[in-house]
Amino acid sequence: MVRVLKISCCILFFTCLQGSGPLWSQPASTVRVMTYNIKFDDTRDPGNDWAHRKSRVIGLLNFYEPVVFGIQEGLAHQVEDIKQGLDNFEYTGVGRDDGKKQGEYSAIFYNTSLFDANRSGTFWLSSTPSKPVKGWDAALPRICTWVELEHKETGKTMTVFNTHFDHVGVKAREKSAELILSKIEELGAVGPVVLMGDFNFTPGPGPYSVVTSSLRDARLASQAMPYGPEATFNGFRFDRAPTGRIDYVFVNKAIEVLRYGVLTDSQDLSYPSDHFPVMVDLKIHARD
């Protein structure tokens, strides 16, 4: 009797740690989502180029087991390396420079043993969203990738958006926020919606207020106390405190935020990227 009880408790504990398939149940479903700016492969920065960081980024993803995650700044070979380093994952996304493979991706990865992708796409953060151009006062072309995911077992869907706002253009950041909200409506994403990415803004008036006029900041909505530092940018500086909360997960009212964390994993006094990943456990409710 005691032995059976111990085995049952161990199984329950393992299931809860997984945060994936076994937790997807009626009437609401729980998924682990992550946003992570992995830093482009800058070969001019020895020690912080992708060759030195690849195994640590992939190791972090394998350990924390998000079932859906978005990356920013990944070049084509980095995106492919991540896909090859994970089991049962596919991604959607294109390079921002040409809409194919050139330039940085804002790719969305999803576990194919759990989800099917019903539809997906990428639009540019500009007044001409279908064209690979810079928008407004932006220094660089910027994009938003999206995908509607359907859970294989339950048939529930959620639409995920992943983006990277410009680091220079003040007008571009505000206009980009407005564009994404209009695209969410235009695409008919009336069910559960997740918007994540590197937004290059901090909480306050301006684009943050635009986004939070329609969506909730997962850090503020978390039912559990947020874990880790508030700031998400470390600049590879292990000797300094991180600065600025610029990486976010936003959700609509069809989603409960169970937990929120900024992960500060390091190895040998070095971070895997110049940003920390933001991880959330979300409870997804069925479409009305």
Tell me: the pLDDT tens digits for 189-232?
Answer: 879 999 999 999 999 999 999 999 999 999 999 999 999 999 99
Tell me: pLDDT of 55 over 70.
Answer: yes
Q: What pLDDT is attached to residue 20? A: 38
- Is there a domain that residue 17 lies in? no
> What secondary structure does DSSP assign to 89-154, as a single string?
EEEE---TTTSSSSS-B--EEEETTTEEEEEEEEEESSSSTTS----TT-SS--EEEEEEEEETTT
pLDDT band at residue 91 using 50, 70 and 90 as cut-offs: very high
pLDDT band at residue 261 using 50, 70 and 90 as cut-offs: very high
Q: What pLDDT is attached to residue 10? A: 35
Q: What pLDDT is attached to residue 29? A: 77
- Is there a domain that residue 21 lies in? no
* Tens-digit pLDDT profile for residues 104-154: 999 999 999 999 999 999 999 999 999 999 999 999 999 999 999 999 988
Q: How far apart are CA 127 and CA 130, in angstroms?
A: 9
Q: What pLDDT is attached to residue 286? A: 66
Three-class SS of residue 60?
helix
Average pLDDT over residues 57-76: 98
Tell me: pLDDT of 181 over 70.
Answer: yes
Average pLDDT over residues 25-34: 74
- Is there a domain that residue 85 lies in? yes
Q: What pLDDT is attached to residue 189? A: 84
Cβ–Cβ < 8 Å for 265, 272 = yes
Q: How many CB atoms lie within 10 A of CB 36?
A: 31
- Is there a domain that residue 105 lies in? yes
- Is there a domain that residue 116 lies in? yes
Three-class SS of residue 83?
helix
Domain count, the chain: 1
- Is there a domain that residue 7 lies in? no
Tell me: pLDDT of 27 over 90.
Answer: no
Q: How far apart are CA 107 and CA 122, in angstroms?
A: 9
Q: Which domain holds residue 144?
A: 26-285
Angle, helices 50-64 vs 76-85, to 10°: value is 40
What is the pTM assigned to this prediction?
Answer: 0.90
Q: Of the ranges 13-27, 42-56, 255-269, which one carries the lowest mean pLDDT score? A: 13-27
Q: What pLDDT is attached to residue 287? A: 56
Three-class SS of residue 258?
strand
- Is there a domain that residue 98 lies in? yes
Q: To the nearest whole number, what is the mean pLDDT of the chain?
A: 91
Q: What pLDDT is attached to residue 28? A: 63
Q: How far apart are CA 276 and CA 263, in angstroms?
A: 6
Residue 200 dihedral angles phi and psi, to the nearest 5°: 55, 30
Sheet holding 28-37, edge to edge: 89-92, 108-111, 68-72, 28-37, 278-285, 255-262
**β-pair type (108-111, 89-92):** antiparallel
Average pLDDT over residues 45-54: 96
Tell me: pLDDT of 30 over 70.
Answer: yes
Tell me: pLDDT of 12 over 50.
Answer: no
- Is there a domain that residue 2 lies in? no
Q: What pLDDT is attached to residue 240? A: 95
Average pLDDT over residues 22-47: 82
CATH number, domain of 260, equals: 3.60.10.10
Cβ–Cβ < 8 Å for 145, 94 = yes
Tell me: pLDDT of 172 over 90.
Answer: yes
- State the first-to-last Cα distance of the chain, in angstroms, to the nearest integer: 44
